[in-house]
Amino acid sequence: MEKKTRRTFLCQAARTGAALPLAAAAMHLAPGAATRAAAQPDNPIPYMREVPYYEKLKNKQIKCKICPRECVVGDKERGFCGNKENHGGKYETLAWGNPCAAHNDPIEKKPLFHFLPGAQAFSIAAAGCNFDCKFCQNWDISQSRPEQTRNLDLPPKDVVRYAKQVAAASIAYTYGEPVVFYKYMYDCAQAGRAAGLRSVMISNGYINTKPLAALCGVLDAVKIDFKAYTDKFYKQTCLGTLKPVLDAMVTVKEHKVWLELVYLVVPTLNDNASDIRAMAKWIVKTLGADTPIHFSRFQPQYKLKNLPPTPLDTLDRVYDICRDQGLHYVYIGNVPGHRAESTQCPKCGKTVIARYGYLVTSNDIKNGKCRFCGKAIAGVWA
């Protein structure tokens, strides 16, 4: 079994805004649980579960149907995500009940600004991803396999127990890409719903329509990372494609699950004004003007260390473009103290939720409406 070096582990622990590694998180959440945090050499994968949505082919091959890659996987092989394996024609996940990161986060960190503001979300991740974004913040999770990460024995019933222990209002599937630990996410969301906990998926949106539709039955909110409004960016920078992500956004809206979007503005790669304008028009026409979008400031990391942080005037420009196209809720992230961290009423213009970073400093939404003028503010508030 390949292990992380001490340097890699310490870097993971220190990363600002990244997931807290489970060894530390476990000690915070439950005394004694940390002894189970490291994967055991003689049994690094404690659980096996059959993956839903795959097709059996000849010669013990399978075709995965969860995401648009639809990997054809031979016996004893894995697909692109690296956390599912073909065992004699039976496709099984190696990322079930063994998250590599867990933490109790403010929901604003996801970011979800129109979903239970000020509440906590018990956040978990398992290794693997169906993209390889050159700017990935949590690459040491997303680009690892389950046997390469420090994992905790945490089946769904214990996820629910920990979430309740820390008074979280929801379970968040985040940090890495939850689409690739679909079975674990679905089972946790189902168990959470039975216990009165909501579930939110923080995703790249690269998922086929049928499994997403089923997942919408147990989710309460979805945040999709909208990488760019060009297929070129998806192919060259993320090793994916744009159309399935657009389709996923539409599916989430059709199933009436709360949706927010995040767009990381990468200088020279996805900050073209005409592309931003076209994207804003598409959102208004297809998803609705009340769909929140967060423009985040890029910081050089992983494979994109040659570019500078996003200039503040670029963020202000994309903000203005989207407001001019009719989007009601446009935010700027990774710039603490920026005026566009807060929520303004689209009718009277007054601030109804004031924020600084992840902190909600005031909330003037009453019964889902602006306290000042009575305008309904789109979101999930109670």
Final residue before a domain boundary, out of 75, 93, 111: 93
Residues 149-183 have pLDDT tens digits of 999 999 999 999 999 999 999 999 999 999 999 99
For residues 242 and 332, membership in a common domain is answered with: yes
State which residues form the domain around 86.
49-93
Residues 110-133 have pLDDT tens digits of 999 999 999 999 999 999 999 999
Distance spanning both ends of the chain, measured CA to CA: 46
* Angle, alpha carbons 165-170-171 (nearest 5°): 85
At residue 46, the pLDDT reads 76
Residues 269-307 have pLDDT tens digits of 999 999 999 999 999 999 999 999 999 999 999 999 999
For residues 55 and 180, membership in a common domain is answered with: no
For residues 231 and 260, membership in a common domain is answered with: yes
At residue 45, the pLDDT reads 75
Average pLDDT of the chain?
90
For residues 84 and 212, membership in a common domain is answered with: no
Smallest Cα–Cα separation from 151: which of 271, 291, 22, 321? 22
Q: Within a domain: residue 315? A: yes
Q: Within a domain: residue 68? A: yes
At residue 28, the pLDDT reads 40
Q: Within a domain: residue 182? A: yes
Smallest Cα–Cα separation from 123: which of 138, 135, 134, 133? 138
Please compute the mean of the pLDDT values over residues 326-345 and round it to a whole number.
97
The CATH number of the domain holding residue 343 is 3.20.20.70
pLDDT at 14 over 80: no
For residues 326 and 295, membership in a common domain is answered with: yes
Q: Within a domain: residue 376? A: no
Final residue before a domain boundary, out of 40, 68, 93: 93
The number of domains in the chain is 2
Q: Within a domain: residue 323? A: yes
At residue 60, the pLDDT reads 98
Final residue before a domain boundary, out of 35, 60, 93: 93
Residue 295 neighbours by CB under 8 Å, 6+ apart: 262, 263, 264, 265, 315, 318, 319, 322, 330, 331, 332, 333
Q: Within a domain: residue 19? A: no
DSSP 102-115: EEEEEGGGTT-SSB
Q: Residue 32's pLDDT band (boundaries 50, 70, 90)?
A: very low
Least trusted range by pLDDT, from 44-53, 76-85, 278-287, 342-351: 44-53
Smallest Cα–Cα separation from 109: which of 49, 168, 31, 28? 168
For residues 216 and 252, membership in a common domain is answered with: yes
For residues 143 and 276, membership in a common domain is answered with: yes
At residue 31, the pLDDT reads 29
C-alpha 319/C-alpha 306 separation (Å) is 25
At residue 286, the pLDDT reads 98
For residues 121 and 204, membership in a common domain is answered with: yes
For residues 105 and 78, membership in a common domain is answered with: no
More confident residue, 154 or 43: 154
Residues 194-231 have pLDDT tens digits of 999 999 999 999 999 999 999 999 999 999 999 999 99
For residues 80 and 206, membership in a common domain is answered with: no
pLDDT at 41 over 50: no
**Is residue 349 within 8 Å of residue 339, measured between CB atoms?**
no
At residue 245, the pLDDT reads 98
Q: Residue 44's pLDDT band (boundaries 50, 70, 90)?
A: low
For residues 258 and 184, membership in a common domain is answered with: yes
Least trusted range by pLDDT, from 24-33, 146-155, 238-247, 366-375: 24-33
Residue 378 burial (CB count, 10 A)? 16
At residue 110, the pLDDT reads 97
Write out the two tokens for 298.
Answer: 């890029």
Percentage of the chain lying above the pLDDT 90 cut: 88
Q: Within a domain: residue 26? A: no
Q: Within a domain: residue 13? A: no
pLDDT at 361 over 70: yes
Question: Which of helix, strand or coil describes residue 74?
Answer: coil
Q: Residue 39's pLDDT band (boundaries 50, 70, 90)?
A: very low
For residues 111 and 204, membership in a common domain is answered with: yes
Please compute the mean of the pLDDT values over residues 304-324 and round it to a whole number.
97
